Amino acid sequence: MFCEFEDVSCVLPTGQRIAAHAMGKGPAVLLLHGFPQTKAMWAKVAPLLAQNFRVVVADLRGYGDSDKPKPTDNADNYSFRLMGQDMAALMQGLGHTYFHLIGHDRGGRVAHRMALDYSARITSLAVLDIVPTHALFNSFDRHVAKAYWHWFFLSQPAPFPQTMIEAAPDMFFETCLTGWGKAGLSVFDPAALADYRRAWRDKATIAAMCADYRAAALVDILDDEQSLQTKVTCPTLVYYGADGVMAQHYDLGHVWSDYATNITLQSEKGGHFFIDQYPHEVAQKLMHYLKQNESALPA
C-alpha cells in the first residue's frame, strides 16, 4: 500500500506505539484518517502531495496498526486531546516542530483539537467533511440523527456495541461506508478496502472505535465547552462533499466561523468519502491550499 514510503512508526514517550509512514521533502504535512478507516485512505493522495512536501500518514490511537489501549470506563484514554497528543509527539519525534495538518472525519476532529492545543506548531489546518464536535452535539435534529445514528449506538456503555458489531463486522462497517458515502463499495480502492476490513475485524479495534465515540460524548464535549472562547487562528480549509450529510444540513462556513477566524471553503463532488472516490481531484485542491500557506507561520 505504501511501498514507496518510509516506515516511521515509533513508540512515543508515553509508551504508545503509533504506526506511520512518510515520503517526500519539504514542509511537513500530517494526514489523519477517519472512521472506520485507516491511513490507507491516503494511499493515492499522499504520493501526489509528497512531490512538494514531507508527507506523514498515521493511524490514530485504536485504529489500524497503532496501539489499542484497553478503554477506561468513560473512555477518556480515547479522547481527541490524547489522540492529538500522540500525533504532536509523533511529529516532534520526526523532527517536525511545525507542520500542516489535514484530517478527515475523526481525524478532522483530532486535527481541530490539535489546532487549539498546539496552535504554535500548526502552520495550516484542513478539516474534511465535518462540523465541530460541539456544534454537532448541540444541533442534532431528526434528519442528522438518522444519518449519524452510529454516534449514539457506538457511544453506548461497553461491551454492548462492540459485542453486536463482532457478530458481523463487515456488514456493519460497510453499511457505514455506503450509507454516508452516497455510493457503493466500488468507489473504494480494493487494496485500501482490504486494509479497512483487516483492521475492523480485530476485536480490539472494534472496542477502540466504540471508545472513540464514547469519549466524544463524555469527554470531548466537555473539553470543547472549555475552549469555546478560543478560536483556531491559523489558515483553515473547510473542505466537504457537496452531496454529503454535512453540506445538506449545515451552512458550513457559518458554523465554522464560530470556531475559526481564517476560513476558506472548498467543496468536492460526492459524499462523505470523497477522498476515496476522487483522490486526484482532492490532492490537487489540497496541494493548491498548502502552497498558498507554505510559508505561513503559526500564531
Residue 76: pLDDT band (50, 70, 90) is: very high
pLDDT at position 184 is: 87
Which of 61-75, 117-131, 173-187, 222-236 has the least mean pLDDT? Answer: 173-187
Judge whether 11 lies within some domain: yes
pLDDT at residue 299 greater than cutoff 60? no
Query: How many domains, in total, are found in the chain?
Result: 1
| Mean pLDDT in residue range 153-167 | 98
Residue 183: pLDDT band (50, 70, 90) is: confident
Task: Using a pLDDT cut of 90, give the percent of the chain over it.
Answer: 94
pLDDT at position 294 is: 81
- Tens digit of pLDDT for each residue in 39-74? 999 999 999 999 999 999 999 999 999 999 999 999
pLDDT at residue 298 greater than cutoff 70? no
Judge whether 299 lies within some domain: no
Range of the domain at 81: 6-292
Give the residue numbers marked as catalytic. Answer: 105, 272
pLDDT at position 296 is: 65
Residue 181: pLDDT band (50, 70, 90) is: low
pLDDT at residue 7 greater than cutoff 80? yes
Judge whether 297 lies within some domain: no
Taking the C-alpha atoms of residue 91 and residue 86, their distance in angstroms, rounded to an integer, is 9
Judge whether 94 lies within some domain: yes
Q: Which of 216, 98, 96 is nearest to 154 (CA)?
A: 216
Judge whether 171 lies within some domain: yes
The enclosing domain of 196 has a CATH number of 3.40.50.1820
Judge whether 92 lies within some domain: yes
Judge whether 223 lies within some domain: yes
Judge whether 214 lies within some domain: yes
